[in-house]
Amino acid sequence: MGNSPEGTAVQKDRSQERQKQMIADHFTRLSKAEDLGEKCVYTFVPGNLTELLLSFDIAPVLPEINALQSGMRGKSREYISTAEKLGHSEDVCTYVKCDLGMMKSGNVGPTGERLPPPGLLLLSYTGCFTFLKWFEILKQEYDCPVSMLHVPYQGEGRVTDSMREYVVKQLKEKVIPSLEKLTGKAYDEDRLKELLARSARAEDDLVHVLESAKHRPSPIDAYFGGVYYIGPIFTAFRGTEDAVEYYKELRSEVDERVRLGKGPVTPDGELDKERFRIVVEGPPNWTHFREFWKMFSDEGAVVVASTYTKVGGVYDYGFRHDPDRPLESLAEYCMGCYTNLNIPSRIQMLNRYMKEYEADGLLINSVKSCNSFSAGQLLILREVEKATGRPGGFVESDLVDPRYFSAANIKNRLESYFQMIEQKRGGGA
């Protein structure tokens, strides 16, 4: 979802360049919001209510995106240090510390433009308790209201009617009134339906792109390249014509790569030969994103499916935003994000990806400060190995704290893991 942290040019295809410009334009819009009288709401990626916000002409500000963009642009170390000097523990989520450090440093966003203060803190809790504390801290800094949408956890592995009704009731009685009060505008369901219809169109194309990795060779990398693909739909663009056009172009681009039998575009150009097909569990490391990706591409390893690209919606399981059921659809979306799934559901998903994408193995990138992902990962690894007979690998890093990226250690582990895969399949390349 951004630039190379090392400052070197990364080769991008057209869609990646377009995504980069969309994100940059959004930060520019945010920098002008106060002068233009535009209302802004701070919210989170998993289970966000982008279409509902846009129906009120509200600009979304997403703290996680600010943090990861800061990490990719080499700014997170300073921000994290600032937060720790203020008393925040080393064990606190580094997204939180990066965001707080940025705020205490003038709230200048990753593109160098100042971010506006929130008119509302909209907390849609989806599987991460850290969100609660994060906004509790922000509430101490900003003189604005908080609206919380409590999203039931899928403890039993499914969404029930009562869970759906519970979320819809909150939308009607808590969230929508708070947006009406902020903007002075009445809820417009017809406009929301139009936005949801656009979302569904974009979601169809995104799933087509992600499932293109079932081809050999895969035309995409569904983890490193995937973070570009999910950027618009997981952030401020879902429901917009920009998103529809972006995913239409992306789909056409990927279909052409399939037709030509091409592999994915990597930081060093097109991958000539696909040697390993990997499924990855866990978020990427943002401070050394290009270096991390290159460790895979240098070995001919392509990530054909990943769980991180489902953190803002599990669309390949059939969910689409439904304009005929607007609030119910938003409720189902919130409850269906990856971090709101229980461990057995995550294992089931990974087993399915291993089989459908004909993967050679499962690799976990365990992120030090992200309990939403890290909890249960060793169990997940063992269960997927047992169910599929394919080898698992395990590396450790962090989201945006460069102190926890040991390049030599990760490279050694990856090389050993790919050697193990080769040996397991009889030494074939």
Asked whether residue 147 is domain-assigned, the answer is yes
57-66, 121-130, 172-181: segment of lowest average pLDDT: 121-130
pLDDT of 429 reads 43
pLDDT digit string (tens) for 48-70? 999 999 999 999 999 999 999 99
8 pLDDT band, cuts 50/70/90, is: very low
Per-residue pLDDT reduced to its tens digit, 210-265 = 999 999 999 999 999 999 999 999 999 999 999 999 999 999 999 999 999 999 99
116 alpha-carbon distance from chain centroid: 23
What is the average per-residue pLDDT within 357-367? 96
Nearest-angstrom CA–CA distance, 293 and 227: 12
In a domain, 83, yes or no: yes
pTM: 0.93
Residue numbers of the domain that contains 126: 14-187
Is the Cβ–Cβ distance between 311 and 338 less than 8 Å?
yes
DSSP one-letter code for 41: E
How many domains, in total, are found in the chain?
1
5 in a domain, yes or no? no
Mean pLDDT along residues 161-170: 98
Report CA 202 to chain centroid distance, whole Å: 16
pLDDT at 4 over 50: no
Q: At 297, which helix (H) or strand (E)?
A: helix 289-297
Residue 383 lies in a domain: no
What pLDDT is attached to residue 7?
Answer: 43
In a domain, 39, yes or no: yes
| Residue 5 clears pLDDT 80, i.e. is over it | no
pLDDT at 392: 97
pLDDT at 370: 85
Judge whether 33 lies within some domain: yes
List the CATH number of the domain containing 98: 3.40.50.11890
User: Token pair for residue 262?
Assistant: 């091409």
317 occurs within a structural domain: no
In eight-state DSSP terms, residue 175 is: I
Instruction: Write the CA distances from 272 to 264, 289, 332, 360, integer angstroms.
Output: 9, 21, 41, 18
Indicate whether 125 pLDDT > 50: yes
Task: Judge contact between 247 and 274, C-beta under 8 A.
Answer: no
Q: Are 238 and 318 in contact (CB under 8 A)?
A: no
Residue 104 maps to a domain:
yes
